[in-house]
Amino acid sequence: MPGLTVEGVYQHIHGVCFKTGPPGTVGAETEWFVRDDTDPEAHVPTGRLRTLLDVVGPPPNRSAITYEPGGQLELSSRPYPGLAELHAALDADIRHVRDAIAPAGLSLAGHGVDPFRRPSFQAEHPRYRCMRSYYDTSGFPDSGLAMMCSTASVQVCLDIGADRADAGRRWRLVHALGPVLVAAFANSSLGAGRPTGHRSGRQAIWKALDPCRTLPVQANGWDADPAEAWTRYALDARVMVVHRAGEWVADPGMTFREWIAKGEPGTDDLDYHLSTLFPPVRPRGWLELRMIDALPVRYWAVPVAVATALLDDPRASAAAEAACEPVTGRWAAAARHGLSDPALARAAAACFDAALGALPRLGAPGLVPVVGEYAERYVGRGRCPADDSLSSTPEEYAR
């Protein structure tokens, strides 16, 4: 309905994006590059993947399968009441997809940035065509295309908080934790066959994009009410797409605040606008953690387990708050250096120790071995998966 006001935006965001309740629910989204094992530099058409997966039917636990503009395959879980349940369900759905495409010589590859292939825009949906047009006309043609077609992540979805005070605490903690998660899971030092100059080239690509929709929301101030901070962020961001009744208009040339001044947008327009904002932490009625590079299949569950433990277990949360305080806001250092940065390495080691202690308390002792393995292989040595590519030949890395 037309006539949305600034106060109406705040009320909608407070009631929908920051809806509180007892924490414990967890979900995850895993994005994958699909690789032709006989030719890692070849692009795999999305239509080919759809055909293969249509033959075997949907995943057993009903994770949603979607495709990003460059052909990346995304598996999005349903929400689960605990970490162990999520892991069992999504792991089975990932195996379902792997088994479906393997006879065709295809496999899922986990990297933050496509290490071998240049961007190839495959999307047909008007939303993605409008996004590409927006980035082209607003001065971000290369980084916009790279983001849409050549990046992949593991996204963790956790509850907002039990009440308003708890929501504020979790909001501050997840923003403080963000650089540590970037550094610990950095896995994109190669892109299109060349060094990216960063351990997390994916994070560098996002940083090079339109800052009004990609900077951390918490940069607006640590003492701000989360709903107020997100409201200001949304109001001051440029409108990327107007979508109404089958009509798609890219980049109408105004912020959402300016659109309100014209008396035109309604709550449906606001909801769509919010879906085009991509900060590292996005509130959607839950906290969507978007800063983690995609990882090899063996380790996809590690960031989900670590982030969940550090937010949902009180003892682990307290440890994470203390560990992350010295590195709060160090997003750029995390992307460039990973855990070769001593301060980030210390914070990550403390966070992993806290998470390992918390997993049994959260009913997920089965995840301790893989989290411990990752901690020993990488975190305890001040390394991240990106360092593997820096020390491997292209042939070794492809395997």
Residue range 242-269, pLDDT digits in tens: 998 889 999 999 999 999 999 999 999 9
Confidence of residue 161 (pLDDT cuts 50, 70, 90): very high
- Long-range CB pairs of 366-374, under 8 A, 24+ apart, other chains included: 366/84, 366/87, 367/83, 367/84, 367/87, 367/301, 367/305, 370/298, 370/299, 370/301, 370/302, 370/305, 371/302, 371/305, 371/306, 374/299, 374/302
CA nearest to 179, candidates 381, 343, 31: 343
CA nearest to 325, candidates 167, 173, 171, 170: 173
Fold (CATH) for 6-393: Creatine Kinase; Chain A, domain 2 (3.30.590)
Three-state DSSP class for residue 112: coil
Q: What are phi and psi of 392, to 5 degrees?
A: -115, 155
Flag the least confident range among 26-30, 176-180, 315-319, 393-397.
393-397
The overall average pLDDT reported for the chain is 95
CA of residue 105 relative to chain centroid, distance: 28
Q: What is the pLDDT of residue 246?
A: 81
- How far is CA 153 from each of CA 126, 182, 308, 338, rounded to the nearest angstrom? 23, 11, 16, 16
317 sits in which H/E element: helix 314-324
Distance CA(96)–CA(312), nearest Å, equals: 29
Distance CA(180)–CA(147), nearest Å, equals: 21
The domain spans of the chain are 6-393
Q: What is the pLDDT of residue 1?
A: 46
Task: Kindly state the average pLDDT of the residues 340-363.
Answer: 98
Say if CB 153 and CB 202 are below 8 A apart: yes
Q: What is the pTM of this model?
A: 0.95
Task: Kindly state the average pLDDT of the residues 169-188.
Answer: 97
Task: Kindly state the average pLDDT of the residues 322-328.
Answer: 96
